[in-house]
Amino acid sequence: MSVTFKDYRLVFQVASLGFFLLAAAPGLSLVVSVPRGGEQFTELWLLGPDRMAEGYPFNVQMGENYLVYVGLGNHMGGARYYAVYVKWRNQTEPLPNATTSMPSTLPMLYEFRALVSEGETWERPVTFSVLEASHYENSSRVDRLVINNRTVSVVSSATWDSENRGYYYQLFFELYLYDLAEAQFRFHDRFVGIWLNMTG
């Protein structure tokens, strides 16, 4: 079998085309981009009673009802199952540590669960009031709260803050994500909260 000039020409054209495509690949990637998955994350927020990032309760009176909204947005690339734990602390009790992925060791007082589709948001009202509290000399103690009509025990004390002139507590919300492999909720490195002054 003999090789003709046309055969050489075809081999040369194919090789040239392959070389051209190889050389042009970086430039072609600017024109023809293959979509890549972006960063996966979850938003967590806390809004005031008018669903704005303002007007949060601060000076809290025993027996008064207060309202905030907790919400989240799913940007994890698919539907996810979340839990939001409501917790209470004084100024010295531990917060979650997002750097080490460790939640606060304080007990959960109330729990929300939500199955949220990719790109969707979820939001719920949180009503709360201090049901039982007392003051003695330079300390304040909160014993019971009502969260969304559920009475919970907290037994939390705060000492007088002479710099800020008050007794301060924090209502905060930790975000958890369901781990299918471990069949349990895991802390998702997100938390939000508001400070409350119980001086009155």
List the beta bridge partners of residue 188. none
pLDDT mean by block of 10 residues, the chain; 200 residues: 52 49 39 50 97 97 97 97 98 90 96 98 98 93 97 95 94 97 96 93
The answer on 81 and 20 residing in a single domain is no
What is the structure's pLDDT at 99? 85
First-to-last alpha carbon distance for the chain, in angstroms, is 103
Task: Say yes or no: 95 and 159 in one domain.
Answer: yes
Domains held by the chain: number? 2
Q: What is the DSSP string of 66-123?
A: EEEEEEEEEESSS-EEEEEEEEEEETTSPPPBTTTTB--SSPP-EEEEEEE-TT-EEE
- Statement to judge: residues 95 and 152 lie in one domain: yes
User: What is the distance between the alpha carbons of residues 141 and 185, in angstroms, rounded to a whole number?
Assistant: 31
pLDDT at 23: 46
How far is residue 75 from each of residues 79, 87, 152, measured CA to CA in Å? 9, 25, 33
What pLDDT is attached to residue 98?
79
| 108 and 129 in a common domain | yes
Domain housing 70 = 41-197
Same domain assignment for residues 4 and 56: no
* The predicted structure's pLDDT at residue 121: 98
Do 68 and 131 have their domain in common? yes
Query: Based on the domain organization, do 184 and 93 belong to the same domain?
Result: yes
Confidence at residue 70, expressed as pLDDT on a 0 to 100 scale: 98
